[in-house]
Each structure stands twice: as structure tokens, then as C-alpha cells.
Amino acid sequence: MKQALFLAFLMLFSLGLTQRTTLTVAVFPNLDDALKAQLALFNKKYPNVEVKLVIQQYADHHNALTTALATGQGLPDVAAIEIGFVGRFAEGQGFEDLNKPPYNAGQYKRLFTPYTIAQATSFDGRFIAMPVDIGPGTFFYRVDILQKAGVDPRNMLTWPGYIAAGRRIKATTGAFLIADAADVAWINIFATTPANTSPYFDEKGNVIVDTPRFVRAFELAKNIRAAGLDARIGAWTNEWYDAFKKGTVATQFSGAWLQGHLQNWMAPETKGLWRVQHLPEGMYASWGGSFYGIPTASRNKALAWELIKYITTTNEAQIAAFRAIGAFPALLSAQNDPAFSEPVEFLGGQQARLLWRDAARRVRPLKANKYDRVAYEIVGTALSQVLDEGKDIPAALAEAKRLIERRMR
């Protein structure tokens, strides 16, 4: 009897051992907060899966991931990838192609905001990561400053109108129109990209950074700088946060996620003073977004896929992330949740999520290119040469084109 009990205990114990699996997930802040909320739900369904989080700062996370991919050592089972890196990882060979069995992710693609699928697809058609959140681009403005200056935000929906309003705001309230004129150039570059191409390359892979699209974007930024309407403050600096707190900057173009950041830590005391509207001239752009992929070296691919499927394709998981950090769901069905029509108190009770959803559905799909990151930095350099050093726009863009072409060896 005793022996039988012992055997039974041993069997149960070993069963528990074999079933309890540990899955490592590498993630960066504050996506980890979203993930923790999702894991609580995931573990209800899969109580025997222990998920170990490896959390590193944004840049460190992607550096570590690059190093791990290079050596094939120390890779997590699931890796979070931010939009800035997904194109490069897609062009590499380090992630599983989710189009193939056993994943067969093709069946899920229609569930997501369309442009996210293109972002995670390589030039040769491999699909390396599932989208989890998106950042539809919007136009944030300080309603108190605009009112003081007597500016109607609707008059800011053309770029000339935007600049004219900026002059009035500066003259009457002393506030700057925008933190950095470069943001206006960027939103123009992204939002005017034709469908299914990269912002910097045409469908044949030719560099197109000297086209009128870029010239116009640069001109707008230069006009704003020349009129002294931008505070010349770089994003993610203490001065940037301070400008939002003190209201020395009247507008900001950004992904929908800026609302979460403003509310949670950047400028919580400005609650009720912000509003959002669509970008000028009917532009729509994606501003950020996160993905989850499975490194080829992962040892728990089946389970990794279960986890990714759960957090990306179930409404409850997407809504949990949305509630935790305001991460805008990439999953279309989650965007129909009643939570979306709730007023956002931080934005003075505006039904902003409906606006963002509308924007997200109108964003054209872009194609990732291996050299996107290089092009982004070279164009950024050209832009600061134009804005800070007074370089001629066509010359700066021609130079940028040449520099990008040199790198495409």
C-alpha cells in the first residue's frame, strides 16, 4: 500500500516536471507591463507554462538580440521587436518564417491592421513576426494655448494654415508651434509614401529620397524653422518633457501612444488640456508598433507560438494590453471593443480612440527594406544639415541619395 502510494506520488511528481515548461520572453519597457497583464490571462489557460521575462531597455534589448542572433547563443524563445528593427530582422535569417507550417500564420493575417503585415514581411516574402500593437499617427494640440491665441484647430489642417496658426500662437502666447521642426518633415515623408513601397525606396529598390515628396517635407520643416516657430528641442529629452509640462509647445505629431506617456509620466498635470485630430491634408501614418517573433534557435517553438498566438490574436489579451499601457491593438476585432468609444479623460473626454482607429485603418501598407534604417539616419542627417547648417535642400537630398546608394553594396 505504502509502496503504491509512493509510486503514484512519484508518477504525479514526474508528470508535473515534464509538463511544467519554462518559456523565456525578451521584451523592453513598457511593453513588459502590457505583457505581464496578458500573461496573467495566458496562465489561466496554460497553468503549467512558466514565462520568464528578460527585460532590458529599448536599445539594449535590440543590441542583445542582435548579438544573440549573431552567435546563435542566449536567444529567448519569444522576442519582442520594435518597428525600428523589424525590417532588419526580417531581412536576416534569424527568425522563423511564420508563413510555413507548423505556424501557418497566413490564416491570421487578415485579422490585423493591414499595414502591420507588410512591415513584418521581408523582401522575399518571409513573415517573421506577429504584430501586437500599432501607433496610428495623430496631431496632438494644447487646447488652452490655441484658445488663448484664438486659433481654430480646424484651420491647422493644411500645412500653410498650420504655419500661419503657429505665427499667431507665437505672437500672442509666446508658445512655440512644435518642439522640433524635423517632426513635420518626418510625418510628411512617412504619410506620403505610396502603398507597398518603403518610404525611401521604390518597388524596384531604387533610392527615391530626392523626389518632390522629400523636397516638400524638407521645405515645410525649413519654413517652420525659419519663422522661429519650433523650440528646437529633441524628442525624449528632459527639455521635451518640460515643454509639455509647462505648455511652451502647442502641438506635437506622434503616435497614439503619446497620450499614454503624457498621462502616465511626462505631464500628468496637463490632464484635460490636450486634444487630438487627424493629421493635416488627409495624411495618415503609422508611428511605432511592436511585434513578437520566434528565433530559429528557440527550443520551445511550439509553445512559443502558442504564447504569441494568444497575445496577438485574442481580444482579451489585446484589451488587457490596451488597458495596461494604452497599447493600441493591432488586432482589428479588438478595436471593436466597447472600450474604444469610451471618452479619454486625459483628452478632455474626447472619443480619441475612434479617431485613432479610423487613422489606423487608412494607413497605407509600407514595405520593409533592408536599408530602411540606414536611409532613415542619412535622411535625418541631411535634414539637420538643412535646418541647422543652412544647407541647400536639393543639394542635401542629392548627397543623401548618394550616401544611401553607396551603402547598398
Partner 1 sequence: MRKTLDNLPSRSSPLSLSMRWSNFQRRYAPYIFVSPFFILFLVFGLYPSLFSLYMSFQSWTPSDGWGRWKYVGLDNYTFTLTDPMFWRSMWNTIWLGVVSGVPQHLIAIPLAFVIHMMLGRFKTFVTAVYFLPYITSSVAIALIFNTLFATHNGVINLVIAHLNTWPLLGALLPDQNINWFTSANVKYAIALVVIWQFTGWNVLLYLSALQAIPKDLYEAAAVDGASRVQQFRYITLPLLRPMMFFAVSLTIIGNMQLFEQPFVLLNGGASTATPGGQTVTMYMYRTAFEWLEMGTAASIAWILFIFIGILTYLNNLIFGRAARGVD
Residues making contact with partner 1 (CB under 8 A): 59, 63, 66-67, 69-72, 88-89, 91-94, 180, 182, 231-239, 242-243, 248, 296, 373-374, 377-378, 380-381, 383-385, 387-389, 399, 403, 406-407, 409
Contact 367, 199 (CB under 8 A): no
Shortest distance, CB of residue 382 to partner 1, whole angstroms?
9
Whether the CA torsion 297, 54, 322, 355 is positive or negative: it is negative
Which CB atom, from 296 or from 315, has the smaller least distance to partner 1?
296
Shortest distance, CB of residue 87 to partner 1, whole angstroms?
11
Phi-psi region of 247 (alpha: psi -120 to 50; beta: other; left: phi over 0): left
Shortest distance, CB of residue 117 to partner 1, whole angstroms?
20
Shortest distance, CB of residue 91 to partner 1, whole angstroms?
8
Contact 153, 166 (CB under 8 A): no
Which CB atom, from 71 or from 341, has the smaller least distance to partner 1?
71
Which CB atom, from 66 or from 158, has the smaller least distance to partner 1?
66
Shortest distance, CB of residue 250 to partner 1, whole angstroms?
15
Contact 278, 138 (CB under 8 A): yes
Question: 41: exposed, middle or buried (C-beta count within 10 Å: 0-12, 13-18, 19+)?
Answer: middle
Shortest distance, CB of residue 70 to partner 1, whole angstroms?
3
Which CB atom, from 124 or from 389, has the smaller least distance to partner 1?
389
Which CB atom, from 88 or from 357, has the smaller least distance to partner 1?
88
Which CB atom, from 95 or from 322, has the smaller least distance to partner 1?
95
Residues in contact with 352: Cβ distance below 8 Å, sequence separation at least 6, in sequence order = 138, 256, 259, 276, 344
Shortest distance, CB of residue 69 to partner 1, whole angstroms?
5
Shortest distance, CB of residue 111 to partner 1, whole angstroms?
27
**Which residue shows C-alpha cell 527615391?**
208
Which CB atom, from 133 or from 399, has the smaller least distance to partner 1?
399
- What is d(CA 92, CA 106) in angstroms, rounded to the nearest whole number? 20
- What is d(CA 375, CA 387) in angstroms, rounded to the nearest whole number? 18
Which CB atom, from 359 or from 404, has the smaller least distance to partner 1?
404
